[in-house]
Structure 1
């Protein structure tokens, strides 16, 4: 089944207007999800809003958004008042500037999307895509997406475009405050060399296929076992030993990686032979 577009509009670059469609690039729909059920009846439990003081259910028409001023005092806002503040959308992704890919801080990336051509705009789309790829730049565009004015980073990727909504500056926590209590250490050269050796021995390529969601897989196995009526055994957990000496730990790690690398080499030669 073809993916469903979340948004459609125009990607505007100066006088070029290219019809585009925005698609979700990531989804958590494949994760194991649960409903809340009544232990005694196995019926699903329905949530409802209740008054904190009286404990009585509150009808939908009587529910308002409230901003907490503290001490259980709220400023209430009517739904139509909120609706009036939603920015008007002209269905346009307007490119405001271009930045080098290396200059874009990944910390600001929010949600990933695919951006594809719409309404037979393949030629215009290819022109924009190939221009971004040739210059190795990211287009920063603005659009009203999902009720908010958002800045979107758009970059070439293979046959299409990747689009990431960006966090606002005020949403990013201060690194200075976060790391203010980190003590300064002068690391010895031998320790750095050992750490570099370990990193080189584990060098590889970025391959998401190797990432395992062990928790989700364990949940799926638990459900299968319950359906089949099998005995459920809790997984064995490894006891982690305490690292007493950092230098000693580095040396043991370096030796272990060296032995593993040598063993992998022997295995490869046996397979080749």
Structure 2
């Protein structure tokens, strides 16, 4: 069942404008959620903002945001200060740039939203914009105020619609070269390369949602179900004993590959002993 839109506004490209809605493309609504209780009373525990000096609770009206410029030295920002740096229109996705579809690194992708026409009259403009981007193999870049903060966003044609991705800011994405510069670019052993390619080919399959199933969620639900009928406390499972043996950092890669391929062959071969 479709959920209520998270955002309503307009999609704009030059003089072409159409009303649209945004709905989160992902959800955690089915995830097991926990509350914190007082074990002695069974009552819920609530979080309160308290003054760090007096220890007294602070009313919401007295709470404000501030920037720390030095130890115990803050600059208080009012709501009008924060509003002044936002977009002039918080209800328009104005596409002002396009980029090749494969030119934006995935590390910039943050949260996806489905973009949907908000009226029948807007469908034609929506479809034309989507199809033109798909034909040119480009994505649209715009800015949008969402969740109370201005974000750069990317609009990507997807099947019959458009997916909008909020993008992480540049200072949020680490430079991969800082981590991989120590990796030596050595020549690849052709024989080992062929063996790894064989392992990959043996395990090639079609994508399925089962690949991203959450086994922890299912086990938690089983525990919760059992606790509904049992009044006795469950004994905390013992942590598996840690092995004293430390893994060696030196491995025989060729031997490991041969063993992997042999294991695959043994699994696929019929067990003749059962037929005797």
TM-score band w.r.t. shorter chain: 0.7 to 0.9
- The equivalences for 1:136-151 within 5 A come to 136-151=137-152
- Deviation per residue, 1:83-128 (Å, 9 max, x gap): 4433332522112233332223222111101011112122222222
Shift of 1:20: 1.2
1:25 aligns with 2:25: yes
C-alpha spacing 1:53/1:108, structure 2 compared with 1 (3 Å): same
| TM-score, with structure 1 as normaliser | 0.83
**Contact kept? 2:110, 2:167, Cα under 8 Å:** yes
**Structure 2 residue aligned with 1:37:** 37
SS of the aligned residue for 1:19 comes to strand
SS of the aligned residue for 1:85 comes to coil
- The equivalences for 1:36-185 within 5 A come to 36-120=36-120, 121-182=122-183, 185=186
SS of the aligned residue for 1:125 comes to helix
SS of the aligned residue for 1:114 comes to strand
**Contact kept? 1:155, 1:163, Cα under 8 Å:** yes
Which of 259, 262, 267 is equivalent to 1:252?
Answer: 259
- Deviation per residue, 1:20-69 (Å, 9 max, x gap): 11111001121111111100011101111222233332232332223233
Deviates more, 1:13-22 or 1:236-245: 236-245
Deviates more, 1:156-165 or 1:235-244: 235-244
Counterparts of 1:68 and 1:61, CA distance in 2 = 20
Counterparts of 1:97 and 1:61, CA distance in 2 = 41
Counterparts of 2:88 and 2:61, CA distance in 1 = 26
**Contact kept? 2:87, 2:144, Cα under 8 Å:** no
Counterparts of 2:128 and 2:83, CA distance in 1 = 38
**Structure 1 residue aligned with 2:274:** none
SS of the aligned residue for 1:74 comes to strand
Counterparts of 1:98 and 1:78, CA distance in 2 = 35
Which structure 1 segments of 5+ residues have no match?
267-273
Shift of 1:148: 3.1
C-alpha spacing 1:48/1:202, structure 2 compared with 1 (3 Å): same
Deviates more, 1:84-93 or 1:214-223: 84-93
Which structure 2 segments of 5+ residues have no match?
271-276
C-alpha spacing 1:97/1:183, structure 2 compared with 1 (3 Å): same
- The equivalences for 1:146-225 within 5 A come to 146-182=147-183, 185-225=186-226
